[in-house]
């Protein structure tokens, strides 16, 4: 039996699990690593994952945005230091690394979609930890590709779409912020794009999100309409519901760079969202 082509760290997570399926569907061998058997902060375990394949994809992360404000050391250890160490070990082994990052590396104050060349300025500990990971990886000496994604949702894990579905089924009413703008992006779509990157193995930073933009309120209203539930959803501002961690108001991505590499057009957010809601 041939050795796996790619080692996927965080393979049981919302994105990692979809990536495992996408790789196997496309004939790319994949071996998954995740908690509790695998810890990205453990050098010995990371080494074993690196030698298990000829490329490494890192979907492992500390993702609790609000809790990171009170647990910055843990967030930075997982999202920052461990990613830098992964890069160093991958450089020693001559392996290419694909690492998943986030729109939270930006402050959301720009008046246009963010390009890969725009200067990051995170406004939360989560965002700062993810930016630290990006920089440590790029400085590690390994061949690395960073894929920034945003507003992801999938069948596993906690995400905005599932929260809205639960609220709608509860009958409402409820409020949703209308001043945060971005693109709800299915993890299945992200996985498709990652398969292309695995095949091409480019280096540098890429932005990926579903086509088009909408506010959180507009997305919630669309989800409720799809369910056919009679439920009142009202707009509000982020300032009406303060949280421990600040969120970027503008999460829009310019995806022209990755679109030039992909073998398919990036689908509009409405298309994948409709399919996801129907599946549930």
The answer to whether 40 and 93 are in contact (CB under 8 A) is: no
- Percent over 70 (pLDDT), the chain: 99
Which of the residues are catalytic?
126
Dist CA 84 CA 264 (whole Å): 32
The answer to whether 62 and 68 are in contact (CB under 8 A) is: yes
The answer to whether 150 and 185 are in contact (CB under 8 A) is: yes
Strand order across the 204-207 sheet: 30-33, 6-9, 55-58, 96-102, 144-149, 204-207
Dist CA 261 CA 124 (whole Å): 31
The answer to whether 226 and 272 are in contact (CB under 8 A) is: no
**pLDDT mean over 257-263:** 95
Residue 182 confidence (pLDDT) above 60: yes
- Name the pLDDT band for 1 (thresholds 50, 70, 90): very low
Count Cβ atoms below 10 Å from residue 193 Cβ, excluding itself: 23
For residue range 95-137, what is the model confidence (pLDDT) as tens digits?
Answer: 999 999 999 999 999 999 999 999 999 999 999 999 999 999 9
Mean per-residue pLDDT of the chain: 95
Angle between helices 160-169 and 269-279 (to 10 degrees): 50
- Name the pLDDT band for 171 (thresholds 50, 70, 90): confident
Strands (E) across 10-61 are located at 30-33, 55-58
Residue 210 confidence (pLDDT) above 70: yes
The answer to whether 245 and 125 are in contact (CB under 8 A) is: yes
- Name the pLDDT band for 3 (thresholds 50, 70, 90): low
For 243, the token pair is: 């949280």
CA neighbours closer than 13 Å in the CB half-sphere of residue 190: 32
pTM above 0.85, yes or no: yes
**DSSP of 137-199:** HHTTTS-EEEEEE-SEE-SSS--HHHHHHHHHHTT--EEEESS-EE--EEHHHHHHHHHHHHH
Owner of token pair 């997305």: 219
- Name the pLDDT band for 229 (thresholds 50, 70, 90): confident
Phi, psi torsion values for 91, nearest 5 degrees: -65, -40
In the prediction, which pLDDT does 4 show? 66
The residue among 205, 182, 150 whose CA lies nearest residue 252 is 182
Dist CA 241 CA 223 (whole Å): 21
For residue range 140-161, what is the model confidence (pLDDT) as tens digits?
Answer: 999 999 999 999 999 988 899 9
**pLDDT mean over 89-100:** 98
Domains in the chain: ranges and CATH:
6-159+184-212+252-269 (3.40.50.720)
- Percent over 90 (pLDDT), the chain: 91
The residue among 57, 48, 46 whose CA lies nearest residue 6 is 57
């Amino acid at each position: 039996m041939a050795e796996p082509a790619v080692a996927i760290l965080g393979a049981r997570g919302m994105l990692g699990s979809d990536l495992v399926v996408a790789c196997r569907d496309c004939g790319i061998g994949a071996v998954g690593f995740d908690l509790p058997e695998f810890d990205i902060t453990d050098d010995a375990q990371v080494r074993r994952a690196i030698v298990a394949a000829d490329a490494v994809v890192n979907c492992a992360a500390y993702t609790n945005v609000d809790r990171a404000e009170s647990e910055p050391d843990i967030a930075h250890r997982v999202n920052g230091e461990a990613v830098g160490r992964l890069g160093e070990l991958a450089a020693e082994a001559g392996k290419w690394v694909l690492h998943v990052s986030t729109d939270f590396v930006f402050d959301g104050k720009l008046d246009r979609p963010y390009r890969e060349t725009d200067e990051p300025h995170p406004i939360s500990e989560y965002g700062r930890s993810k930016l630290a990971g990006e920089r440590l990886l790029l400085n590690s000496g390994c061949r690395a590709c960073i894929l920034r994604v945003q507003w992801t949702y999938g069948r596993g894990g906690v995400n905005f779409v599932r929260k809205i579905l639960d609220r709608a089924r509860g009958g409402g009413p409820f409020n949703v912020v209308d001043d945060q703008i971005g693109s709800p992006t299915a993890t299945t779509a992200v996985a498709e794009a990652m398969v292309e990157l695995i095949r091409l193995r480019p280096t540098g930073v890429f932005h990926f999100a579903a086509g088009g933009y909408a506010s959180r309120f507009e997305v919630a209203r669309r989800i409720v309409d799809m369910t056919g539930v009679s439920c009142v959803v009202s707009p509000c501002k982020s300032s009406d519901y303060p949280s421990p961690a600040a969120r970027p108001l503008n999460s829009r991505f310019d995806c022209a760079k990755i679109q030039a590499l992909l073998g398919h057009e990036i689908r509009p957010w409405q298309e994948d969202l409709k399919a996801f809601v129907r599946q549930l």
